Structure 1
Amino acid sequence: MTSEPHRLQYLEAMGLTGWAARYVLPNARPTPACEWQTPAAPAAAPPGERLHALLDEAREQESAPRKPSLPPERVARAPRPGRARVALLGEAPVSEGPSEPETAEAAPEAPREALRFAFQVACLEGRWLLLLPGEAPPGRARLRLLTNLLRGAGIASPLPVFQPFHWPLQEGLPVHEPLAEAREGLRAFLNGASRRGWAPCRLLMFGDDEALARVLALEAGRSATLDLPAWQAPTLDALASGAEAKRALLPRLLELGKVWHAEVDAEEEHPPRAGDDGRDGDGP
């Protein structure tokens, strides 16, 4: 049996205030005791009757009238884009052919593999781009060979510092148009290099790379991506391996030197104005 303190705690927990007499008045009548009658629990129906009740309820639900559904051709569809514009502008409506079943959501385009290439780039006197395909920077021997080749062409300018560039810039990003995105990245890199005084008007590339050639769009002595005249020679490793490759390149180097001096003379006679990058469309 629950003691009086426990009973009061239960009542307090349930939010009920318990009243108890603290003093007994003399000659007071005793408080009558209240007896609560416990309500009788409903008698559980036999299992057979419960089963028949469930079956009757299921039959009533099946026999109930259902709301008629619209035919497939009357199902409301989302308006196609452009109809509001046609109605506002008063244009003639375009006849539509047989409608095809519309899917709820268009399937997302699967990401594609990014083009991968790398090169080392420098800008000779801020006008001619020197581009060496590959991730490894050129060593002292290759830089000395490049300097001698330019001097053989009559270009005595000091060799600038090469900077690396690789694509993609970050791994794991989704790619939908590999070629277009690579070209945009290359243009953005060269546009940012203009803060260092670069105003390229010609491209000199020593070596070959299939992916890089696609990005530069090299064709007929020009890079369509950069909109620059392009001049391409064998790799510095191939030129350093034998004298035959150097002798074959010598006539082209002499023609390249003539173009360089012609551009220098033209700049001395007509200095470029602000906003003019000095580009021309003539190739070596």
Structure 2
Amino acid sequence: MSGPRLARATVIGLLIGMATLSLAPLLWMLSVSLMQSGEAAHFPPPLLPSDPTLHNYRELFARAGLGHHLANSALVATVTTAIALLLNTLAGYAFAKLRFAGRERVFRALLAALVIPAQVAMMPLFLMLKQVGLVNSYAGAIVPGMAGVFGIFLVRQYARSIPDELLEAARIDGAGEWRIFAQIVFPLLRPIVVTLAIFTFLAVWNDFMWPLIVLSDDNLYTLPVALASLSREHVQDSELMMAGSVVTVLPVLVLFLCLQRYYLQGLLVGSVKG
């Protein structure tokens, strides 16, 4: 085998090995979720279920009420993502293309806030939401994700690649700023908007700490919080917990696979134009 072919085969083999290591926990999780109760506790643990069953999934949705918590997560993640896309794209475009007093100073201050851990701001944010009566509500779970410094920065860096001449021509033709944004800027931002949407949706869907803090009503729990609460009652039932993990992972995995082309396009174009 020649040198280039050997190098290619080596790289492909390494990639396949890394992909196998990455997928192994997910495949094991799926396999255990299909096992009979107590089967995963055997030693050595079986790799595949001896008699595959969907009993664990039926148990989750029929008795544990996970369908309601799944709907809660979908509602919070969808609404948060929609609002975040609107606010982040507007702010990112403004910092990139509109001139106003203190623009650079405000943007630098926002960037400085990136070094502050999110956990530090949770208590002040909780107290503020408590003052306005948003604790233990869907709104309280949505507010922290409505706008983020990272999202503003991402859109701003991408929007800087939009030619100023294009915007000036629209203004000369009599178009207002809202019309320019809606008909010219937003379509050009589509790749980075899809990327930001995936980032935001995944972050909100997988968030455990903030919903745990702000939500005290079991009926309002999102999926990660409900699953953690369920694990305390069924700590020995590995099969049921794995079924819950599959239900938690599957929607975002499908979403990412469906949108990965736009996601990668947004990252690659942003790296070239930014």
TM-score by length of 1: 0.22
- Higher normalized helix content (fraction of residues): 2
The higher relative CO (CA closer than 8 Å, separation ≥ 6) is in: 2
- Higher normalized strand content (fraction of residues): 1
